[in-house]
Amino acid sequence: MNSLMKKGLLAASVVGTVVGGTVLLRDAGTAPKFSTDARLEGRTVVVTGANTGIGRETALDCARRGARVLLACRDMTKCEEARKFIVLETSNKYVYCRHCDLASQESIRKFAEAFNKTEPRLDVLVNNAGVMRCPRLVTLEGIELQLGVNHMGHFLLTNLLLDKLKSSAPSRVVNLVSVAHRRGAIDFKDLNSDKEYSPVEAYNNSQLANMIFTVELARRLKGTGVTCNAVHPGLTATELSRHMSFYNSWLAAVVVKPLQWFVLRTPAQGATAVVYAAAEPSLSERTGEYISECEGTTIAEEALNERLGARLWATSARWTDMYTDDVMLVSWHHSGVELYFDTRPRSFNVDDVRIAEPEVDYTLTGALSEVSFEVLLTRKVRNSVLSVFVPSFMLIFVSWLSLWVPPELVPGRMVLVITTLLTLTGLFNANVQSMPEVSYVKALDIWNLTCIVFVLFTIVEYIVVLRLSYTDSSSPQVVPEKNGKAAWTREGRWTGKDKAALLEKGSRAFLPVAFFIFNIVYWSYYLNDSQE
């Protein structure tokens, strides 16, 4: 019996030693080396995708350090569960749930608008949320889901919060970027994976886009007190792989998942590098870096290409509707001029971009280069119809209604006509300001001027009607009667009121007919001219 007990104790000791050693080796081999007592009291931290995994652990660590933490999540039920867990673990009551679905640009804008209105500062923005290797799905705006959530959503969110970050400087932007970015590629001809889709390649490309975004944002924010760095949390056991069919299979559950315990980090370990980038005091001046294992590491060469960064920024700005018609981005480079035009204004179609003159090199001042180009824009018909032609048609019709108002109702008729004229003028001014300045008279200018002339005609017509209506005070005709006495009579006389009434009837018919003829001439000429 004693022999059996000794053997049992020996076996248990061996097993315990092996298990304990395995745990120690696992923790030593997977966990990055970082510890700091940096505090975050008085600072506000926003973490996207903070309801689970690395995001929740990052929020938990920041809350422990005294930060005011906002959990920006899509699933509010899980977000509330994470908030309660963090509050109980840290005794920090300043942890809040906010709805932010990165697959919806409208949701992102609502979150940013509410945040900018209610929060006085933003010290750290952690762009953590993401999807990985999912079937081809799209966001509400039609962008491939991995690109839309991992890159475009965070691009839009960061830009909408930039003013708050700048006013709170020194502040930080932390982007989670996988090492898979080194296997990605940016193909502007099929950026949305419409022609060909591979879940793996789409994920890699979205990570490269995030790395390029990090480098470009850091370059643009130099001197503002806002830093931007990318972080690779390492291979971590999170829900990010939930879309991978093999990972969810029975074979993976039996074989792979038990083995991954020895390889993958826990979410808390994965969050270590993120917190390092968010709180480490020595990083306050470092920007545009890629952090792995809590230290700087190499970035894919493609992500350091300034031209690619500028082009991807312009494309992302267009896809997220961050710029209006009157904004054009221009970048200078030391080498020769390379023209690419990837801007699509909301109100215009870009029909052609032509090189007007060949490139000219100027060597006297340092080999500068110059190239001239022309951009052919055509106004979108739908935009013009909705913003100009339909409203102006309605206002012209309202001005015609004034012709049926009795002339003696001076206040009512004048208010109707003057209000119509002012509204029409304001409408046209707004449309003129939204269009590029040109040196020639535009078709829209002709339309605007003609509509104003028609409304002015109703004002002039009414003034004439009033004048005719009050000219009957002139001396009437004197008709002698048979008894020799003179009699005053108006018989046979064409009075001013009669003339005014005739003018009113004529105007009611003339204005619609004249406007109809103008439309035939106008549209025939310009539609034929545009086809040529």
Output the tens digit of pLDDT for each of the chain's 532 residues: 456 555 555 454 444 444 444 444 444 445 555 667 889 999 999 999 999 999 999 999 999 999 999 999 999 999 999 999 999 999 999 999 999 999 999 999 999 999 999 999 999 999 999 998 889 999 999 999 999 999 999 999 999 999 999 999 999 999 999 888 999 999 999 999 999 999 999 999 999 999 999 999 999 999 999 999 999 987 655 554 554 554 555 444 444 444 454 456 688 888 889 999 999 999 999 999 999 888 888 899 999 999 899 999 989 998 998 864 444 555 555 555 555 555 556 566 666 666 655 444 444 444 455 566 677 766 666 666 666 778 888 888 888 888 888 877 777 778 878 888 888 787 777 776 666 666 677 777 888 888 888 888 888 888 888 888 776 555 455 555 555 444 444 455 567 777 778 888 888 888 888 888 988 888 888 777 655 5
CA–CA dist 57, 49 (Å, integer): 11
CA–CA dist 344, 242 (Å, integer): 36
Tokens, residue 20: 């304990």
Chain-centroid distance, C-alpha 466: 54
Chain-centroid distance, C-alpha 5: 71
Beta bridge partners of 297: 290
Report the catalytic residues: 203
Enumerate the CATH 1.20.58.390 domain ranges in the chain, comma separated.
381-531
* CATH for the 381-531 domain, from 1.20.58.390, 2.60.120.260, 1.10.645.10, 3.30.70.1380: 1.20.58.390
Tokens, residue 234: 């390492």
Amino acid at 482: K
Token pair 């350091």 is at which residue?
Answer: 304
Enumerate the CATH 3.40.50.720 domain ranges in the chain, comma separated.
39-314
Tokens, residue 518: 């103008």
Nearest residue to 129 via CA among 143, 145, 109: 145
Tokens, residue 413: 């008729």
On whether the 39-314 domain is CATH 3.30.479.30, my answer is no
Phi, psi of 183 (to 5 degrees): -105, 5
Please report, for the chain, how many H helices and E strands are present, in that order: 17, 12
Answering whether pTM is above 0.75, one says: no
Count of Cβ atoms closer than 10 Å to residue 105 Cβ: 23
CA dihedral of 457, 460, 461, 462, whole degrees rounded to 10 = 130
Q: For residues 319 and 141, is the Cβ–Cβ distance under 8 A?
A: yes
